[in-house]
Structure 1
Amino acid sequence: MSQTSNCRGSEGIFVPVAGLTLFAVASGYLMSLIPLTLAGFKISSDYASWMASSYYLGLLIGSMMIEPIINKIGHRIAFIGFLVLLASTVIALPIFAHRDAWLLARLIAGMAVAGIFVVVESWLLISDCPKQRAKRLGIYMTSLYGGTTVGQLGVGVIGIQGFSPFIVILGLLLAATLPAVLLRQGQPSKQEHLMMSTRDITRLKKPAIIGCIISGVVMGTIYGLMPLSLKNSELNSSQISVLMAAIVMGGMIIQPIISKLSVRVNKTLLLALMSLLGVFGVGLTYLSSSYQLLVCALTLLGMSAFALYPIAITLACEEIDAMFIVSATQVMLFSYSLGSALGPIGASSFMAKQHGVMHFIFLVMLATSLYMLIASMHRRTTVLAN
């Protein structure tokens, strides 16, 4: 897996970024909508964690299946196909209002979203010099989180009742396919993608893999259980939408900063610092129940949570040849998905306690920061010894 020495020309990024932004708006709304709308479709709210875990299990399964599809049909057609598959699951939710149907729909949705993520990430990263990858991934994350922030506001603006939210989400997903349908140029060459061997995968940096897993644990918990946890704190729908948007806004704000720091600061140390920021953010919620303080705390939590994945994936890809990027992003998404599937299940045991979700995230972030600090110190010691 030698790093390529020649920088090739940049491919166009409008198609994946434009499509991703519309997808993110729809996805942000849908992720907050599902746990809040269960009761309206006569499904017990106890299934909220299982809905999230089913989705992330689909993400996990999908992350192992994407590379051959991209190799066969290319990035553009794969992107369209995965968006259409996701849209079909949105149609199914209000039509088949049963918990088993919803669990199956969310499983398939996770597989579709895995495809969208791998397609877009590899599309943006595969044709660039390693030094440009952090910048490209910063654009990707900003578009993703910016769109998701807008989507969170749909809970307050459009609501959670009836079929209307699902119709809006469906329209956004279909609109997300239009850039790829109308513009055929700019996708990476299908001949460039090679699969990493098991030996190559084991050589990926452990902090990168662990960073992706922890990012999944935290993000799966935030998206799967945070809206319900906030609702149990007697906050109304408008307040919940603002708080969820604050989390994602924090993630969007941090991206340009991370993009610059990741080429100047040791990435393992940066993972430790971002985890500590999450510990601080959650710690603020223990000081007061003030709504304004909660907005600030969740913004800091969002900055921390949404920073882990881009740092981890750039750490994993910094010494990898461009021809292995699709395979590497698939491995990283698999790690993220594994954490995402386990996170809501682990956090559900804390739900019976007041602020239980916050306690769970605090413990996870604290343990991660300690591990990353030790790993960064070990790496520094190794470098100095050599």
Structure 2
Amino acid sequence: MDTTAVHDSKNSTLVPVLGLSFFAVASGFLMSLIPLSLTSFGLDNSLVPWLASIFYLGLLVGATSIERVVSKIGHRVAFVVFLCLLIASIITMLLLPIEAVWLGARFIAGMAVAGVFVVVESWLLMADSAKARAKRLGLYMTSLYGGSALGQLAIGPLGTDGVTPYFYVIGLLMFAILPPLLIKAGQPESRAQEKMKIRDIKKLSRPAIIGCLISGLLLGPIYGLMPLYISTQAMQAQYTGMLMASIVLGGMLVQPLVSYLSTRVSKSLLMAMFSLLGTFAVVGVLGSQSLLVLGMSYLMLGAASFALYPIAITLACDALPMAKIVSATEIMLFSYSIGSVLGPLLATKLTQSSNGILYYLGAIMLTTCFYMLIKSIEKLESGHKPVAGL
């Protein structure tokens, strides 16, 4: 066996972050492209929430089996395999523009993306200290959301009609494959991964699990339904790509702050603060009369929504040994996926109102704020230090 692939560079961040950056641009464009391109393929817009939910159902199913794949073939090869599977799902959609085929392809795509997330997150979280983990996860989230924001901006120049925009997505995913394919050094050390048992899962922080669930309840509708919502608003329609980019850009810009605060402030209190920020952002979107205020409100909404997952996952992994990191990231992704499956379907229950998705996001944010605030107060009253605890 090539030992350099195992030990060199001491678990370098170069390969996962570089590959993830190309993946993020492609994924960001694709998530907005799919709901906006349905009519050009002769598909009805009523398919939008189902495509979003079945993608996250695939994410949920995939999150239960990634650990075994990574254990057998390693992080680097697994990264390549999951990206290839995602490309295959897109090609299938282009060849067969049929509702059932698209639903099946998006389910497979969800499983592939679950693999990408678990591989990259566990790769970066295998660090020696909580501070190093927070710093690496901040780098991961910045690359992911920065690339996604850039992908949203492609909607205008590349368009959303026909197969051509999808070819750009496939090309970007092929670039994402190159770093793990060509650079063999720097992946985590080859070690036995331990599957977390029920008693171990029970010991995981409840706010961490709830935080990942809430993140899914928010981001599922934001990715799956928000592009269509913006495109139907009179003042916003012509700025769909820019406003979606503002949401994701907010998620990118907040990551350094999240990394800094997550080792200094109670993580449940931090999630409460960002949830409150998200509530104010929803009010700002609903009441804005200018494009500038609207853009800033969407930026704040993105910052709040995308901050919850990295805080929650670092909270879950803070006290875990290296051998259980992959399994823990699976569990957190599983929780996120449940929220992502339910989110678009729950949000569509409010579509009788033109601003239904915003009312839904505001309600979730406000409820989360109260829950996390209560948990942080309970932790303070228990006499534990807020930094290392909840």
1:43 match: secondary structure? coil
Return the offset for 1:46: 0.8
Q: Give the Cα–Cα distance (whole angstroms) in 2 for the partners of residues 60 and 234 of structure 1.
A: 35
Query: Alpha-carbon deviation of 1:126?
Result: 1.2
* 1:11-22 paired onto structure 2 within 5 Å: 11-22=11-22
2:306 alignment partner in structure 1: 306
Paired residue for 2:59?
A: 59
Displacement of 1:286 in angstroms is 2.5
Tell me the number of residue pairs that the alignment of Structure 1 and Structure 2 aligns.
378
Within-5 A mapping of 1:234-253: 234=234, 238-253=238-253
Q: Which residue does 2:357 correspond to in 1?
A: 357
8 Å contact kept, 1:229–1:351? no
What is the alpha-carbon distance in structure 1 between the residues aligned to residue 277 and residue 93 of structure 2?
Answer: 37
SS in 2 for 1:286: helix
Question: Secondary structure of 2:287's match?
Answer: coil
The aligned counterpart of 1:290 is: 290
The one-character-per-residue Cα deviations of 1:172-229 (angstroms, maximum 9, x if unpaired) are 1011000011100111123242111111011100000000000001000100100111
CA contact (8 A) 1:254 1:307 kept: yes
Q: Distance in 1 between matches of 2:93 and 2:290?
A: 36
Paired position in structure 1 for 2:193? 193
Map 1:1-386 onto structure 2 (within 5 A). 10-234=10-234, 238-383=238-383
How far residue 130 of structure 1 moved from its aligned partner, in angstroms, is 2.3
How far did 1:94 drift? 1.9
Deviations 1:5-32 (A, max 9, x none): xxxx842111000000000000000000
1:324 Cα deviation from its structure 2 partner: 0.7
Give the distance between the partners of 1:110 and 1:290, measured in 2 at CA: 37
Q: Give deviations 1:84-137, integer Å, cap 9, x for gaps.
A: 000111111221111111110100000000000000000011133222110000
Distance 2:202 2:15 in 1: 33
- Give the TM-score, by structure 2 length: 0.95
Runs of 4 or more off by more than 4 Å in structure 1?
Answer: 235-238
CA distance in 1, matches of 2:234, 2:52: 22
CA contact (8 A) 2:231 2:238 kept: no
What displacement does 1:384 show? 5.9
- Partner Cα distance (1:236, 1:359) in 2: 18
Paired amino acid for 1:19 = G
CA distance in 1, matches of 2:18, 2:235: 34
Which shows bigger deviation, 286-295 or 170-179?
286-295
Deviation at 1:368? 0.3
**Partner amino acid, structure 1, of 2:212:** C
Q: Is the 8 A contact 1:216 1:339 kept in 2?
A: yes
CA shift in 2, pair 1:84/1:235, >3 Å = farther
* Aligned counterparts of 2:86 and 2:222: Cα–Cα separation in 1: 21
Residues 156 and 237 of structure 1 are in contact (CA less than 8 Å); yes or no, is this contact kept in structure 2? no
Q: State the TM-score, normalized to the length of structure 1.
A: 0.96
Which residue type is aligned with residue 67 of structure 1? E
Tell me by how many angstroms 1:294 deviates.
1.4
Cα pair 2:10 2:186 within 8 Å, conserved: no
SS in 2 for 1:383: coil
Letter in 1 for 2:218: V
Question: Any conservation in 2 of the 1:194–1:327 contact (CA below 8 Å)?
Answer: yes
Across the aligned residues of Structure 1 and Structure 2, the Cα RMSD in angstroms comes to 1.5
Q: Distance in 1 between matches of 2:322 and 2:204?
A: 15
Q: CA deviation at 1:346?
A: 0.1
Alpha-carbon contact 1:251-1:302 (below 8 Å) kept: yes
**Which residue is 2:4 aligned to?**
none
State the alpha-carbon separation in 1 of the partners of residues 240 and 111 from structure 2.
27
Residue 4 of structure 1 aligns with which residue? none
1:237: Cα distance to partner?
6.0
Q: What amino acid maps onto 1:351 in structure 2? A: T
Displacement of 1:289 in angstroms is 3.8
Given the superposition, is the C-alpha separation of residues 384 and 98 from structure 1 closer, same or farther in structure 2, using an over 3 Å criterion?
A: closer
Structure 2 Cα separation of the partners of residues 167 and 365 of structure 1: 37
- TM superposition shift of 1:355: 1.0
Q: Which amino acid aligns with 1:152?
A: Q
Identity %, equivalent residues: 50
SS of the equivalent of 1:305 reads helix
SS at 2:15's partner residue?
Answer: helix
Unaligned runs of 5+ in 1: 1-8
